[in-house]
Structure 1
Amino acid sequence: MPPSNNSWSSSQDDSEGSKLLRKSKESPFIPIGIAGCLAIVVLGLQRLRKTDQKMSVHLIHMRVAAQGFVVGAITLGVVYSMYNDYFRKPRQG
């Protein structure tokens, strides 16, 4: 059976680390959003011990903060991409 030329399969040259670096160079706001989400979760779990809030209310606040950070990072990424496509390097056509 010949090897498939499927774009979803990984080639032998591309290791997982180099794929991650290449993808994060293409869209740098995605790793920023993931890191921010993880930071909010870690900080929220640390603060959970110090507050007198009910756990359900605290978890809802953490979820909203983490989602807001990720949505903000994705929105900034889209705006940055649009800026690069339409203002910085306008298409010839």
Structure 2
Amino acid sequence: MSSYEEENESKLLRKAKENPFVPVGIAGFFGIVGYKLLKMKQRGDTKMSVHLIHMRVAAQGFVVGAMTVGVLYSMYREYIVKPNEQQK
């Protein structure tokens, strides 16, 4: 199937169905960044650079966590569920 000949679904939707934790990671990233940007006025005596570093670390940590859960989920499907289905 050529990338130009995809029928009713876009490539992004197809990839999201194959790896459901990618959109979760993207949404979490933007959610954390948006929340931290709203909280920027209430940062108190914290320097701007420290606040931005905390924002980056939180967003990056969420994305890495979502990727890890996604890899574990795909390994579970590949090595535990598939062999059980083949035995039946």
TM superposition score category, shorter chain reference? 0.7 to 0.9
* 2:51 partner amino acid: H
Q: Could you tell me the TM-score, scaled by structure 2's length?
A: 0.85
Mind listing any 5+ residue stretches in structure 2 that lack a counterpart? Answer: none
Give 1:72's aligned residue: 65
- Structure having the larger proportion of residues in helix: 2
The 2-side partners of 1:82 and 1:13 are apart by: 27
- The Cα shift of 1:51 comes to 1.5
Percent sequence identity over matched residues? 61
How many residues of Structure 1 are paired with residues of Structure 2 in the alignment? 84
- 1:15-65 deviation digits (Å, cap 9, x = unpaired): 7x6211110000000110010000000000000011111110000000000
* 1:90 partner amino acid: P
Deviating above 2 A after TM superposition, structure 1's stretches of 4 or more consecutive aligned residues are 12-15
| Alignment of 1:44 onto 2:36 | yes
Give 1:27's aligned residue: 19
Counterpart selection for 2:80 from 77, 87, 93: 87
Mind listing any 5+ residue stretches in structure 1 that lack a counterpart? Answer: none
- The Cα shift of 1:14 comes to 4.9
RMSD: 2.0
